[in-house]
Amino acid sequence: MNIKNLLSFGLLIFIPISIAAHFLEWSALTVFITSALAILPLAIWLSTATEEIAVVTGPSIGGLLNAIFGNATELIIALIILKEGLIDIVKASITGTILSNLLLVMGLSMFLGGLRYKEQSFQPVVARVNATSMTVAMVAILLPTAVIYTSKVDQIVATRNLSIAVAVVLIIVYALTLLFSLRTHSYLYDVGIVESEKNEPTSEPKETPHKPNLWLWGGVLLASTTGVAIESELLVGGLEEATAGLGLSPTFTGVILLPLIGGAAEYITAVRVAMKNNMELSVSVAMGSSLLIALFVAPLLVLVGLFIGQPMDLDFDIFQVIAVAIAVGIANLVSLDGTSNWLEGTLLLATYTILALAFYFHPV
């Protein structure tokens, strides 16, 4: 049994345990840990259901579903944290998800894939498009912060108005990136899959591909999404007390801990396909998730906060902005040539480790 199956089945036991811990009023730390462990298999099932439904619905609708539900777990957790008014933790989780995808996921994929294959390749054109899109997102995060730090008077209202306008622009940009990848230039994104299929051994006859049951996987998608929402409520309910008990700052919790909980399914997928010499798909998962968070999830949270009475802007802590700039810069440099090896993966992992240590020791 592989790691993905072990997590998706073995950790389901923590769903009833976490619910019982909540109603029996066990310690906040116990509720936090059990609900976090319960989210892991639910996120995997949510991701699997989306992939299976995509097989039935075709590449265009399937790609759109993957774009929408690819980071559903992170979005649900962020929405619940936003509802509770923990704006700083929401911003930290956005920063952390971008960092973990660009540095941790790509780093692990390149390192483990590079240990098995001397050098792996992926589409440099796609890498350049992703790099440019991430740079635009970084600028969008930087500008509201720059307004605050370069103004001599209180600019809260101006920053919020700017954030709303920028949020709309980012969502439009993300819609255009979907149009580019799913319609006008979809052939660029299919190359890696085609090459991977060509490289597979053909000594054995190919099995007829199965057609997933749409209703079954639709039910799994609905159930897992509902489960993630319930467990996220429990997770957030004990978040501050539990992390304080562990001696962790809210910033470290948002930047490091929450992305690891919400993105486990994607991390496993990216590393697994990289070790099968499909670095094209692995980079697509990592960069695509970062783009989704930066161009869609973050601006969506700004707009949702406006309507639920929890106003949020794009004025991030300057240290978080610097961290994102470092991650985007290094990830772009590593991926622009369209090749990767284990040393480049090591450098990405080292950068993530250094940033994680910096956030841990960063004074609150």
Domain parsing of the chain, residue ranges: 3-200+210-361
**125-129, 155-159, 334-338 — which one is most confidently predicted on average?**
334-338
Element holding 92 (H helix, E strand): helix 87-99
DSSP annotation string for 138-178: HHHHHHHHHHHHT-SS--HHHHHHHHHHHHHHHHHHHHHHH
Please report which confidence band the pLDDT of residue 106 belongs to, taking 50, 70 and 90 as the band edges.
Answer: very high
**Overall average pLDDT of the 181-198 stretch:** 59
**Overall average pLDDT of the 193-212 stretch:** 51
Residues sharing a CB contact under 8 Å with residue 266, sequence separation 6 or more, in sequence order: 47, 70, 71, 101, 105, 285, 286, 289
Q: Are strands 120-121 and 339-340 parallel, antiparallel or unpaired?
A: antiparallel
Poorest-pLDDT segment among 26-40, 55-69, 98-112, 147-161: 55-69
Between residues 297 and 195, which one has the greater pLDDT?
A: 297
Q: How far apart are CA 208 and CA 163, in angstroms?
A: 50
Q: How far apart are CA 11 and CA 34, in angstroms?
A: 9
pLDDT of residue 192: 45
pLDDT digits (tens, 9 = 90+) for 265-308: 778 888 888 888 888 888 888 888 888 898 899 999 999 999 99
Q: How far apart are CA 251 and CA 266, in angstroms?
A: 23
Element holding 343 (H helix, E strand): helix 342-361
Between helix 342-361 and helix 106-116 the angle, nearest 10°, is 150
Between helix 106-116 and helix 264-274 the angle, nearest 10°, is 30
pTM summary value: 0.87
C-beta separation of 312 from 302 below 8 A: yes
Q: How far apart are CA 17 and CA 270, in angstroms?
A: 30
* Average pLDDT value for the chain: 83
Q: Which residue blocks in 12-149 are alpha helix, DSSP H?
A: 14-23, 28-57, 59-69, 72-83, 87-99, 106-116, 124-149
pLDDT of residue 61: 67
**9-18, 65-74, 126-135 — which one is most confidently predicted on average?**
9-18
Whether 1 shows a pLDDT value over 70: the answer reads: no
pLDDT of residue 266: 78
C-beta separation of 287 from 270 below 8 A: no
**Overall average pLDDT of the 197-215 stretch:** 57
Please report which confidence band the pLDDT of residue 100 belongs to, taking 50, 70 and 90 as the band edges.
Answer: very high
Poorest-pLDDT segment among 67-71, 127-131, 288-292: 67-71
**Overall average pLDDT of the 33-57 stretch:** 85
Torsion sign, CA atoms 21, 71, 197, 121: negative
Q: Which of 132, 119, 63 is nearest to 274 (CA)?
A: 119
pLDDT digits (tens, 9 = 90+) for 218-271: 898 899 999 999 999 999 988 888 888 888 888 899 999 999 988 887 788 888
* Cross-strand bridge partners of residue 339: 121
